[in-house]
Structure 1
Amino acid sequence: MREHDLRAADGTRLRAWRTESAGPPVLLCPGLGTFPEAWPALVLPSSGVRVVSWYHRGTMGSDRPADPSHITLADHVADAIAVMDDAGIERCVVMGWSVGVMVAAELALRHPGRVSGLLLAAGVPGDLFGGILGVLGIPAPVRKRLTLGAARLIRACGPAVDQVLHRIPVNRRMAVAMQHSGFMLPGADPDDVARALRRFLRHDWRWYVTLALALADVPEPDLTGLTCPVTVLAAKYDVVADPTRAVRPAAVLPHARTRVIPTSHFLPLEAPDEVVRELAALQARVTAVERALR
């Protein structure tokens, strides 16, 4: 895997990354502030695909935009297109995880000619805060008020939150504890979890929550116009993206494949081989469709 810089449409410098594996290209729309370590099987040569991705504006080496309001869903979609163009990719399968599901779905709706297939993992394509805590049975209006309020509080207390989280020692023991917290579940390699947590906790948390709140008003989209093959992987015990709401938008698509996998929100870490298998199956469906259209 290697990283490099590129310019977004509005001039913002983005840090992109790509794997050197052989195989068809895949654009990965990342979870908010996540990184390659979150996809331990996808970045291996055995994945069978060449992955291109990037870090969100203001995170992990990407610059914040000169205009701080340029962090809308449209801006993230434009960044995805910039990453594809930089890699010389005209059309490919697009994956998304968590917030990346919103970006991947919107990319397919706005630029259908650039997307040959969609794999949406552990995320909702709209109404981001409405999907949090759904598996706990809390009424939707209540949980949305709670989660929006918590996000705004974290943003207000950002420097204090940084002081705490940046000092937490992350090791294998902590990773195992997290895997038994309910927020995450056992299944992932604790060393992979530790590597991911170590980088994740170092975010500027005021900016991180600002990015999330900028997507709070995005409604659940109508996906009926999508014609490419679609696979949705929902996480059964996901406290961040309600699995029912994750699969609901794709239910209108006659060609969509949906699965509910017994993991937490961190499906790429807890079921990495399932992700690779489903991606290979999606690639096969895409190939069959494109052959039929010739």
Structure 2
Amino acid sequence: MHEHDVTSPDGTRIRGWRTDNPGPPVLLCPGLGTPPDVWPALLLPDAGVRVLSWYHRGTMGSDRPVDESRIELADHVADALAVLDAAGVRRCVVMGWSVGVMVAAELARRHPDRVSGLMFTAGVPGDLFGAMFGSFGVPAVVRRAVALGGTHALRAISPLVDAVLHRIPVNTFTATLAQHSGLMLPGADTQAVVHVLRRFVQHDWRWYFTLALAISSVPQRELHGLTCPITVLAGQYDILTSPERASKPVSMLPQARVRIVPTSHFLPLEAPDVVVDELRMLMRRAAAVERARELARPPSRDPIDALIPPALTYGSRLRT
């Protein structure tokens, strides 16, 4: 994994990261403030894809914007496009986890020409706080209010949160405790959890909660206009995004595939092989759709083609 800097359209310096594995490019829209270690299978040489990603504004090496209000969903989409442009990638499969699902979905809505396929992992394209605690049967309006109020309260006591989390020892013991907390399950490799937690707990937590609140007002998104293949992976025991809320936005789309996995919200850590298998399947689906669209495209009628009978031109495209 290699890190590098890219510049977003508003001038903010974003720390990007990529793998140099052989294979087609895939844009990964990360969970809020999460390191690459969350995706252990995608970092391996045999992953079959070249991953492109970045760290959110003000986290893990990315600068805060000069105008600190520039942390809305549109700004994260702009950062995603900057990562693609810096890598010279015009169009590819885009995947996201948790908050990254919102970014991936919005990127596809605003720039469908840049997205050939979508993978949503344990997340929703909108109404982030309303999706929390859905497994407990609490009405969405109550869940949203509790999550919003709780985040405001945590931001208010962020100096205390910093004092505790910045000093907590992260080792096999604490990682094992986290894996039995309910927020996470024991399915992940404990050492991978240690690597993730060591970087995650060092956030400036006031800024972290500010980032979360900035996108909390994004409403539910309608995805009816999306025509690319979509895969949704949902954690059966996810208390932050229930399987029902994760799958509902794509339920009416003809190109959607939904798979429920026996994991928590940390699905990429707890079921890495499932992620890779489903990603490879999605890329085959996306490639098939791209070929079909190319074949269905009307033949070019430039001056050279005008000298060739239409039937011959179209037949040549079919043979190609």
TM-score band (shorter)?
A: over 0.9
- Who is 1:40 aligned against? 40
- d(CA) in 1 for partners of 2:170, 2:76: 30
CA distance in 1, matches of 2:33, 2:54: 10
Number of residue pairs aligned between Structure 1 and Structure 2:
294
Residue 18 of structure 2: aligned partner: 18
2:101: which partner in 1? Answer: 101
Q: Deviation string for 1:80-137 (max 9, x for gaps)?
A: 0000000000000000000000000000000000000000000011001001111122
In the TM superposition, residue 28 of structure 1 has moved relative to its aligned partner by 0.2
**Letter of the aligned partner of 1:41 in structure 2?**
A
Distance in 1 between residues matched to 2:201 and 2:163, nearest whole Å: 11
Partners in 2 of 1:141 and 1:279 — Cα distance? 34
Within 2, Cα distance between the matches of 1:127 and 1:242?
13
Who is 1:195 aligned against?
195
| Structure-2 residue corresponding to 1:62 | 62
Question: How big is the shift at 1:140?
Answer: 1.7
2:171 paired residue number: 171
Which residue in 1 is equivalent to 2:132?
132
Q: Tell me the residue number matched to 2:235.
A: 235
TM-score w.r.t. length of structure 1: 0.99
Matched, 1:267 2:267: yes
Q: Distance in 1 between matches of 2:136 and 2:146?
A: 13
Partner Cα distance (1:120, 1:24) in 2:
19
Where does residue 28 of structure 2 map in the other structure? 28
TM-score when normalising by structure 2: 0.91
Where do 5+ consecutive residues of structure 2 fail to align? 295-320
Residue 59 of structure 1 and its aligned partner are, at CA, apart by 0.2
CA distance, structure 1, for counterparts of residue 46 and residue 268 of structure 2: 16
Deviation per CA, 1:173-200: give whole Å up to 9, x if none: 1111111111101111000001101111
Is 1:250 aligned with 2:250?
Answer: yes
Aligned residue for 2:63, secondary structure, equals coil
Structure 1 unpaired stretches of 5+: none
1:278 and 2:282 are equivalent in the alignment: no
TM-superposed CA distance for 1:208, in Å, is 0.3
Cα distance in 1 between the residues matched to 2:164 and 2:133: 24
Identical amino acids, percent of aligned pairs: 66
Indicate the RMSD between aligned Cα atoms, in angstroms: 0.7
Distance 1:112 1:216 in 2: 24
Distance in 1 (CA, whole Å) between partners of 2:284 and 2:201 is: 37
